[in-house]
Amino acid sequence: MTGHEAEDYLREYRAMLKSWTMAVAGFSEANSDTLYARLEEGQQQLAEIALAHPDKSYSVDMLINSRSRTWAGFAMERVPRPEQG
């Protein structure tokens, strides 16, 4: 994978992480479970990027930590949002 392809993948993963965060917080109708599964599937690719491109390892680490620390616990304990209307 070239450096450009790695950047593209990181950009796509970051966008998916944002979509998942919005779904978990209740600000979008997206399926947070499906997005979470896709984020999980991308972990291996992130690891490969970090190994192949050490200059991108900080970005990879930030993405992994953003997904696994704060929101993972929030998703499990989230109180349903009231209906708007």
For residue 35, tell me if it sits in a domain: yes
70 pLDDT higher than 60: no
Residue 27 located in a structural domain? yes
Into how many domains does the chain fold? 1
- 85 belongs to a structural domain: no
Predicted structure pTM score: 0.78
Task: Write the DSSP assignment of the chain as a string of letters.
Answer: --HHHHHHHHHHHHHHHHHHHHHHTTSS-S-HHHHHHHHHHTHHHHHHHHHH-GGGHHHHHHHHHHHHTHHHHHHHHPPPPPPP-
Q: Establish if 66 belongs to a structural domain.
A: yes
- Using pLDDT thresholds of 50, 70 and 90, give the confidence band for residue 69: low
pLDDT of residue 67: 72
Domain with 49 in it: 3-77
83 found inside a domain: no
